[in-house]
Structure 1
Amino acid sequence: MLKADISPKKPTEFKIMNKITANKKLGQHFLTNQHVAQLMTKNFASDAEGIIEIGPGKGVLTKYLATWQIPFHVIEKDDRMLEPLSEFLNDNQITCADILKVDLTELINTLGWTGKKIWVISNLPYNISVLILLQLVKSDSIKYMTLMFQKEVAEKIFNFTNLKNPMSSLMCICLNYFDLKLLCKVHPGSFSPPPKVESAVISFKRFDHPEVALNEFDSLEQFLRRLFQFKRKQMGGILKKYYPLDVLVDTFKMINKEMTDRAESLVFKELICLYKNLKKIC
């Protein structure tokens, strides 16, 4: 059984392999900004009982996380990174695998962290960031997350730029399960190689009692995807394919909305109310 070592080597013993270049296919952009790294790695340090870092790469976040006296584990797909990581992490603190193929519940149980408050932190690969996020949302063992996204994706999760009609299926899902905060915006020059776009770090703290329970995740996601696949179309026209017309008329009256309204014009509470009422009736 794997056990996390809570006494990792000191950061001074870590030697970054500068010869390792970013792999475009893996969406790698190595964070180099130490201020951002320190900000991210302090986010939930006083609350977490176990830390999982996804895609540590050269270890700019890892070297700070390893200083906390908290059980710590990393998941890294790129086997080129194993040598630098092994200079200050034990072998049983490293899982070399594709995060999308890792059963997080099984890993957490294997680590002996069942029932602990798990914090996931990552400078996510931009090309699969949403897939990873949804995987993390569905794991109720994960209580906290500190995640770096491409700014455009971050705006679909949390409206920190006051966009008009910002609501999306992804935003609604995240608002349902987490208290969200913008931790910081990150300039392209904070990475090597620099991406073409700005980034943003979002802090997630899971609600103990979300509006829609986690066991309804698939049902809620399907409902929202249907609405937002054609977000500029009238909701009545979209939903009549799945619900009787009289049910829709009554449900929209109950939430004081019109069937001619569009999904993007609704706020979180209205979308959740629509989902709950339709589920209750049908």
Structure 2
Amino acid sequence: MPTYRHGRHEHGQNFLTDKRTLDTVVAVINATSGPIIEIGPGGGALTVPLAHLGRPITAVEIDSHLAKRLASWAPRNVTVVEADFLAYRLPSIPHVLVGNLPFHMTTAIMRRILHAPGWTDAVLLVQWEAARRRAGVGGSTMMTAQWAPWFEFELHGRVPARAFIPQPGVDGGLLLIHRRAEPLLSPRQRRQFQALVHRVYTGPGHGLARILARNTQLGSLKETTSWLACQGLSPSALPKHLNTSAWVDLFETTRSSPPKRARRRS
């Protein structure tokens, strides 16, 4: 029989047991407002201190054994829902998300969160390198760049592997995501903007000057080099080196359009 206290392999459960980290998460959540939705509460190690904040909590747990156990003794302001978070319908009213995410499900859950309405802040414990990449440390990932006009990403700290039971092979990282009160672009422009980011990240060329010249309407190699200089970047820089304001300027300058292809001579 599986030992649910130590997590189940099929759900990728590594339960957070370190009090210092738990206190840090609660402190971050305490600086926010509104109802709380916890992703994968497990045995309730984080649920209980969060409940002390006095705010309504919905704990979404995929493991039926853990969900029933937590529901049997959870504080009154906690509602336990047995469900897969990827299929759970999030409310449209303002709320806060928090969770110790299964490391192998981080990307899928992140996509689900970023597409969801309503929430104002997300406090997520993920794999350390994933937290660094999502926060843009050393350069942004394509996913972070695609969502940056609407969200701010922050790396809040490192969590050692020994803080979990069972202990994973890598450290964790605390990632904070905040929905911008005033987006840098309209939600109606999201698909066009994200298509531009995808085109730049995946387009042919060595160095941003050539990539932008080939894959956007920014202009010739000379013009793209000049635009990059205004952004403080060299022609050999990579897409990950573009910051949010540069992406927005690129979008507004090129109107997101791909370059026109010259007609082939017959």
TM-score by structure 2 length?
0.80
Contact in 1 for aligned 2:212/2:224 (Cα 8 Å): no
Given candidates 84, 90, 100, the residue that maps to 2:86 is: 100
Larger relative CO (CA 8 A, sep 6+): 1 or 2?
1
Hey, what's the Cα distance between the residues in 1 that align with 2:35 and 2:191? 27
Which of these residues, 131, 151, 154, is aligned with residue 131 of structure 2?
Answer: 154
Q: What are the ranges of 5 or more consecutive residues in structure 2 without an aligned counterpart? A: 259-266
Residue 214 of structure 1 and its aligned partner are, at CA, apart by 3.2
Cα deviation, residue 144, structure 1: 0.9
Q: Which residue of 1 aligns with 2:261?
A: none
Match of residue 115 from structure 2? 138
- Which deviates more from structure 2 when the two are superposed, residues 214-223 or residues 136-145? 214-223
**In the alignment, which of 63, 66, 86 is matched to residue 48 of structure 2?**
63
1:267 aligns with 2:243: yes
Report the more deviating stretch, 53-62 or 40-49: 40-49
Q: Which amino acid aligns with 1:191?
A: F
Q: Report the AA paired with residue 156 of structure 1.
A: R
- RMSD across aligned C-alpha pairs, in angstroms? 3.2
Of residues 212-221 and 131-140 in structure 1, the stretch that sits farther from structure 2 once superposed is: 212-221
Q: What residue in structure 1 maps to residue 157 of structure 2?
A: 184
Deviation string 1:84-130 (CA, Å, 9 cap, x unpaired) is 211234699222222122232xxx15xxxx3xx31100001111212
- In the alignment, what sits opposite 1:14? none
**What's the CA shift for 1:140?**
3.5
After the TM superposition, which of the residue ranges 131-140 and 199-208 deviates more from structure 2? 131-140
Q: Are the aligned partners of 1:247 and 1:281 in contact in 2 as well (CA < 8 Å)?
A: no
The offset of 1:201, in angstroms, is: 0.4
Deviations 1:229-261 (A, max 9, x none): 469834465566765685887676556477765
Q: Distance in 2 between matches of 1:119 and 1:54?
A: 11
Q: Secondary structure at the match of 1:146?
A: strand
Match of 2:65 among 73, 80, 88: 80
Q: Determine the C-alpha separation between the residues in 1 that align with 2:177 and 2:204.
A: 26
Give structure 1 stretches of 5+ with no counterpart. 1-16
Distance 1:235 1:27, change over 3 A: same
Aligned to 1:118: 95
Q: Once structures 1 and 2 are overlaid, which stretch shifts more, 82-91 or 43-52?
A: 82-91
Alpha-carbon spacing, 1:276–1:23, altered in 2? closer, same or farther (3 Å): farther
Number of matched pairs: 253
* Mapped contact 2:56–2:78 kept (Cα < 8 A): no
Question: Equivalent residue for 1:202?
Answer: 175
Q: Indicate how the Cα distance of structure 1 residues 93 and 236 shifts in structure 2: closer, same or farther if over 3 A, else same.
A: same
Per-residue deviation, residues 55-103 of structure 1 (Å, max 9, x unmatched):
1111111111122221210111111211221123469922222212223
SS of 2:73's partner is coil
Please report how far the alpha carbon of residue 26 of structure 1 lies from its aligned counterpart in structure 2 after TM superposition: 2.0
